[in-house]
Every structure is written in structure tokens, then in C-alpha cells.
Structure 1
Amino acid sequence: MSNSTMLKNKTLAIIATDGFEQSELLEPKRELETRGAKTHIISINGNESIRAWDQKDWGKTVSVDIQIEDANIADYDAVILPGGQMNPDILRTDKKVVAFIKSASAQDNIKAIAAICHGPWLLVEADLVKGKHVTSYPSIQTDLKNAGAHWQDKTVVIDGKLLTSRNPDDIPNFIEAICQKLTS
């Protein structure tokens, strides 16, 4: 199977809002689409576009494909949660986002719930980390441990459907792990 067809017929939900870490959304989106996947940017509050945070300042603007209240978990094969500090902090207060992520864990069609950097905050809010092995940006490890997770300092940690990574340096391994989950 060639890289360009590896993820053919796979549709991935990328949940984000203003302040997502630019590289943690755009690089996986681009690479997963190159491998044949369809991606949908899902957001909140009627946003037609969302703006990235690019390390130290505002970055690119990305079009939103669908609002969380219109998204159907049955349409997706994986959920991807980019980090940045602002993005997951805003999203974890949105009940529809938390319910969507929580329902993803119970759906057979969902092969991966992949969160990077501060994205695992959403896994905590959805009550998905208790007893699970995870990683994240180091500054939120205490939050994960307090929620009952077993935090590890690794580029990628996989526990069931949960797939977590630490930071932008881990993106290549993050992408490969998502591909493996979707094709196994």
C-alpha cells in the first residue's frame, strides 16, 4: 500500500479553536491527507475560521469545516486534539466538545483519540485518563496524574484508543502512531 492510499476511506476529526499550536494541527493534517485521509476541522461558537498560535505570536488562519454540534461521531475514524495552551483550555469548558470526546471512547468506529502537548487536558475533562498511560507537555503532567493517569516522558504513549505526545518535536512519531492505529 502506497503512502498516498494508506488512509484512503478514513475521515479524521480535528477539534480546535483559536490559539491551537500551529504545527500541531497543520503538520498532522497535511501529512495525514497526503496519506489519503480526509480531515474535518471541528470548532465551536460558530467560528468560520480559527487562528493558530505559532510559538510566540499569532499564526495562520484555518477554515472550519463543521461546528461541534453538527458533527456526528459515527462519521469519523479518529479524533485529533492539537495543543497549545489556549486551545484546549477553551475547549475543555465546552460541554459539547467534552461529550463528543467522551463518546468517541465508546464508539467501535473510533480507532484513536490522539492528543498532543496540552491536548490531553481534554482527555482529563472527558474522564478518559484514569488508570491510563499517557504523556503530555510536561507542565500538565500533575493535572494528568491528579486525574489518575500514569504519566510517562516519551515521544508517544499508546493505551487502548488513547494516543498522546508531548510537543511539536514529537509530531513525526505522533503522525506515525496515528497511521498505525488506523491501519491495524
Structure 2
Amino acid sequence: MNKSRTFPQEPKIMETKNLNKSRTFPQDIIPNGGKVRDKKVLMIIAFQNFKDEEYFVPKEILAKAGVSVLTASTKKGTALGAAGGEAEVVLSLSEVKAGDFDGAVFIGGPGAAVLIDNTECHRIAQEAVAAGKILGAICIAPAILAKAGVLQGKQATVWSSALDKSAVEILRNNGAIYQDEKVVVDGKIITANGPAAAHEFGKTLVGLLGP
């Protein structure tokens, strides 16, 4: 099944036009004192309309902790966020080998709906779990993990609104234990429910990567 799903735009909670520029996060908010150098994380985004905060904020936190971050999507080039941010995609999904990274992180946003049934995304998630890597997803992206079959019996969260609980249903229908929380960690899998959780999501990723 490769039909795309449509999710309404989440409420805008912060100005995003400058999120692709350098930001400063105090050192004392970074777990492990930033001692996660030599770690490598892959961030997977929609080529159009990824959620800017969910990509740029965790990426900056990871980078300031010394993590090398690469970006993948359905094709290489310059991906465009829903708020106009630009991200350089250096790997196509078919080129990704999850075992080459310490973690794989799926980013949400309106464009991520087309990735929910993407078989390459499912393969990457499955390979990450099989290799014992950190696996993360934010906003509607946990639905990708659910469809990949890696959330069975796992606690997880996902974006929803008063009018749209479809992503929650995807999690439940695929064996996940839905938690109405901003960020949920179950073993090496971390999920977050949207842009308001982006900062905590990034900090938690650093903590899971370890010293």
C-alpha cells in the first residue's frame, strides 16, 4: 500500500524562517556535557514541506554536542521546509545503510505524510533496530516506524489534534502502546509529538547516544 495520507498543518508555534541559521544552546542543557563526538546520525526528511523546527532544532543540538549529522530524503539536492528553511540532502533513501550510523531520525511535517508507506523508510527503520541503533521520530513520523513494524509492544507518541487522531490510530493498529506525551523513550526508540517537543527531542537524542 503506497497511498499517501494527508495530515493538516500543525499550528505554528514559533518563528521558523531563521532556523537554518546557527543558534546557541547553553552547554548545561546538553546531556553528557556534549561528549558524544565521533557519533554519526542520519536525519530523514521529506524533500518538500518537512517541519523546520523539528529538523533544525535537534540538528543544532546534536551538532553542538559533537555529533556528525547527515540528511537523507527521496532524492538528493536542496529540500525545502514548510516554513522556507533549506536542507542539503546528501543521500537518497536507497543509498542509506542504517548500520553506518549510530542513529536514524525521521522528521515530521506535512510532507512526511508521503513517507508513511515508503518501503525504503521502513527498511531503514528495520535495519536500525536490527543493528541496535538509536531510532527516533517526531510529529507524524512515528507513523512511519509503526508501519515498519518496529513499534509493536513499544510505548510511543505521535502528533495529533482534536480533529485528527489518524496518526494515533496508525500506531495503535500496528501494535504500539500510545502515550499522550511530548517525548517518549522505550529502549533505543525515541518518539516526540511535534515541533513544541523539538528541543527536548534533541536533548534526549544526545543522552541516548551516550558519552
TM-score normalized by structure 1? 0.88
Name the Cα RMSD after superposition. 1.8
Shift of 1:121: 1.2
Which position in structure 2 is the counterpart of 1:97?
A: 121
Distance in 2, matches of 1:130 and 1:53, equals 31
2:41 match: 12
The residue aligned with 1:31 is: 61
Give the structure with the larger strand fraction. 1
Give 1:84's match in structure 2, choosing from 90, 109, 134.
109
Q: Which secondary structure state, in structure 1, belongs to the residue aligned with residue 85 of structure 2?
A: strand
**Unaligned segments of structure 2, at least 5 residues:** 1-26
**What is residue 107 of structure 1 aligned with on the other side?**
131
Deviations 1:13-71 (A, max 9, x none): 00112221011001111111011010010111x331211112xxxx1221111112222
Letter in 2 for 1:15: I
Which residue among 90, 97, 100 is the counterpart of 1:72?
A: 97
Which residues in structure 2 correspond to 1:1-184 (within 5 Å)?
A: 5-17=34-46, 18-44=48-74, 46-54=75-83, 59-87=84-112, 89-108=113-132, 110=133, 112-138=134-160, 139=165, 140-183=167-210
User: Is the CA contact 2:122–2:147 (under 8 Å) kept in the aligned structure 1?
Assistant: yes
For the residues of structure 1 that align with 2:89 and 2:41, how far apart are their CA atoms? 14
- The question of whether the paired residues in 1 share the 8 Å contact of 2:44 and 2:73 is answered with yes
Cα distance in structure 2, aligned partners of 1:150 and 1:72: 28
For structure 1, list consecutive stretches of 5 or more residues without a partner in the other structure: none
Once the two structures are superposed, residues 111-160 of structure 1 have per-residue CA deviations (whole angstroms, 9 ceiling, x without a partner) of x1111110101101211111110011123212211211111111211112
* Distance in structure 2 (CA, Å) of the matches to 1:65 and 1:77: 17
Report the secondary structure of 1:130's partner residue.
coil
Aligned length: 176
Once residues 119 and 103 of structure 1 are traced to their aligned partners in structure 2, the CA distance between those partners, rounded to angstroms, is: 17
Regions of 4+ moved over 3 Å: 1-5
Distance 1:158 1:152 in 2: 10
Given the two structures, how large is their TM-score scaled by the length of structure 2?
A: 0.78
What is the CA-CA distance between 1:98 and the residue it aligns to? 1.4
Relative contact order, higher structure (CA 8 A, sep 6+): 2
Partner Cα distance (1:65, 1:48) in 2: 7
CA–CA distance in structure 2, aligned partners of residues 71 and 141 of structure 1: 28
